[in-house]
Amino acid sequence: MRWSSAFLPVLKESPADAQIVSHKLMLRAGLVRQTAAGIYAWLPVGWRVLRKIEQIVREEQDRAGAQELLMPTMQSAELWRESGRYDAYGPEMLRIRDRHEREMLFGPTNEEMITALFRDDVSSYRDLPRTLYHIQWKFRDEVRPRFGVMRGREFLMKDAYSFDLDEAGARQSYYTQLLAYLRTFQRLGIRAVPMKAASGPIGGDLSHEFIVLAPTGESEVFYDAAFEGFDWNQADVAYGDAEGLTRLFEQVSGTYAATDETHDAARWSQVPAEKQRTGRGIEVGHIFYFGDKYSKAMGLKVSGPDGRPLTPMMGSYGIGVSRLVGAIIEASHDDSGIVWPEAVAPWTVGLVTMRADDGPSSAAADDLYAKLNAVGVDTLYDDRDERGGVKLGSMDLLGLPWQVIVGPRGIANGVVELKNRRTGEREELSAEAVLNRLTA
């Protein structure tokens, strides 16, 4: 993409109403614009990031055997009356009447709808287990939306739902999602620590929050440094391997990690002092086993192997996809701007001409841009007629992993500059060598 023809509005100043750094940077770098309180339009740069995150979430769900579908945003109140939640849910539910005065709502979550869909089409134990998910916009009418996409009203969430014949099966589905989550967050380039969450209505040990560490986080967290060393994508566990998944769960459960809500001083004191990590964190995922809460209330039954009806046991598994954009920035930025993990960067490379009016360096940059495109390196080419310093500042703000800086002096010497955004390291190299480096 050439910046000169892009819709990529960056701001020099931080908008006054943004309180936290991710919100400021998302506005400044042109990722989002607020269109109503707590509701955002995703401009091209933000949308690129959001789609990359969404795609990684999707791939890891698919790899774990979950099946994607898409439920609509608008739901009928009737459906929520079946579970008893229509009246129980507070003012965060956006309640709507259509032209025929039918009561509707903008879905804040989908337990009722997925249970109804499953109930209407599944009748036999042979059709279980299944885990179904979708990635869809939700609405929660926060009384005081703030912190940009971190606590917005319309937000993108991946929510998965598992259906099993019994609790043992449901535990396996839970462990499967646990591993999928660990792999998802690792691929996104962030450290999200799974923390035992306050038990829900069911009790038990099957509820974890995934917390990204960031100084602006909403809760205090305590965890064992062992979590910093785990490599979940190398973990020797296959989906479907019940023993392996159980071991994985025990490894996670056996390694201390808790929020202030679930913190246990006695267990904490057993973590060696040099391995105690504390800080603040942002919740980006939550997995949850709730047994027959919805299946029972809504009459979901399947016939068992012996012909007798069984009530499936369920769990739900959420990832805050749009919130992750903010959370990643909270966890990965510096004074100059965003520092994107490579997997979610809107482009991998930012190519900058220091002097757009200098023929030889523009020609060299054009040529390099064509070559980067030809080999499939995602490049934003800042070919604008702006001062070099302004362009470098914008590129730092945008946070692409690599910058390639082309200036008249370098070109005269046959070199361009390659800058690593995270480390700040700069090297002078031939254009050829830069290409090789970026495609290695």
What is d(CA 326, CA 147) in angstroms, rounded to the nearest whole number?
A: 9
Of the pair 78, 432, the CB lying nearest a second copy is at 78
Of the pair 75, 177, the CB lying nearest a second copy is at 75
Minimum gap (Å) between residue 42 Cβ and a second copy: 4
Query: Which are the contacts of 186, defined by CB distance < 8 A and separation ≥ 6?
Result: 231, 232, 233
Location of structure tokens 């608008």: 74
Of the pair 2, 191, the CB lying nearest a second copy is at 2
Minimum gap (Å) between residue 67 Cβ and a second copy: 5
**Is the N-terminal amide bond of 129 cis, ω within 30° of 0?**
yes
SS3 call for 433? helix
Minimum gap (Å) between residue 225 Cβ and a second copy: 39
What is d(CA 301, CA 87) in angstroms, rounded to the nearest whole number?
A: 25
Minimum gap (Å) between residue 261 Cβ and a second copy: 26
Query: Which are the contacts of 5, defined by CB distance < 8 A and separation ≥ 6?
Result: none
Minimum gap (Å) between residue 44 Cβ and a second copy: 5
Give CA separation, 194 vs 57, 131, 211, 315, 396, in Å.
16, 20, 6, 17, 32
- Summarize as ranges the residues that interact with a second copy (CB under 8 A): 4-7, 9, 30, 33, 35-37, 39-44, 46-47, 50, 65, 67-76, 79, 91-92, 94, 96, 98-99, 102, 104, 106, 113, 116-117, 120-122, 126-127, 130, 132, 137, 139, 141, 143, 153-154
Minimum gap (Å) between residue 155 Cβ and a second copy: 10
Handedness of CA 66, 68, 74, 75 (dihedral sign): negative
SS3 call for 150? helix
- Are the beta carbons of 417 and 428 closer than 8 angstroms? yes
Minimum gap (Å) between residue 417 Cβ and a second copy: 27
Location of structure tokens 């769990």: 315
Of the pair 97, 267, the CB lying nearest a second copy is at 97
What is d(CA 26, CA 397) in angstroms, rounded to the nearest whole number?
A: 10
- Looking at the DSSP bridge assignments, the partners of residue 361 are none
Query: Which are the contacts of 101, defined by CB distance < 8 A and separation ≥ 6?
Result: none
Minimum gap (Å) between residue 108 Cβ and a second copy: 13
Of the pair 99, 308, the CB lying nearest a second copy is at 99
Of the pair 153, 263, the CB lying nearest a second copy is at 153
Which residue type, as a one-letter code, is found at position 53? Answer: I
Of the pair 19, 73, the CB lying nearest a second copy is at 73
What is d(CA 84, CA 82) in angstroms, rounded to the nearest whole number?
A: 6
- Are the beta carbons of 371 and 435 closer than 8 angstroms? yes
SS3 call for 200? coil
Of the pair 27, 411, the CB lying nearest a second copy is at 27
CA atoms within 13 A on the CB side of 30: 18
Minimum gap (Å) between residue 98 Cβ and a second copy: 5
Q: Beta-strand (E) ranges in 9-66?
A: 32-36, 39-42
Of the pair 143, 265, the CB lying nearest a second copy is at 143
Helix or strand run (H / E) with residue 309: strand 309-310
Of the pair 36, 363, the CB lying nearest a second copy is at 36
Of the pair 15, 424, the CB lying nearest a second copy is at 15
> Residue 134 burial (CB < 10 Å; 0-12/13-18/19+)?
buried
What is d(CA 207, CA 199) in angstroms, rounded to the nearest whole number?
A: 6
Minimum gap (Å) between residue 223 Cβ and a second copy: 35
Minimum gap (Å) between residue 360 Cβ and a second copy: 24
Minimum gap (Å) between residue 87 Cβ and a second copy: 16
CA 302-303-306 angle, to 5 degrees, is 150
Of the pair 123, 439, the CB lying nearest a second copy is at 123
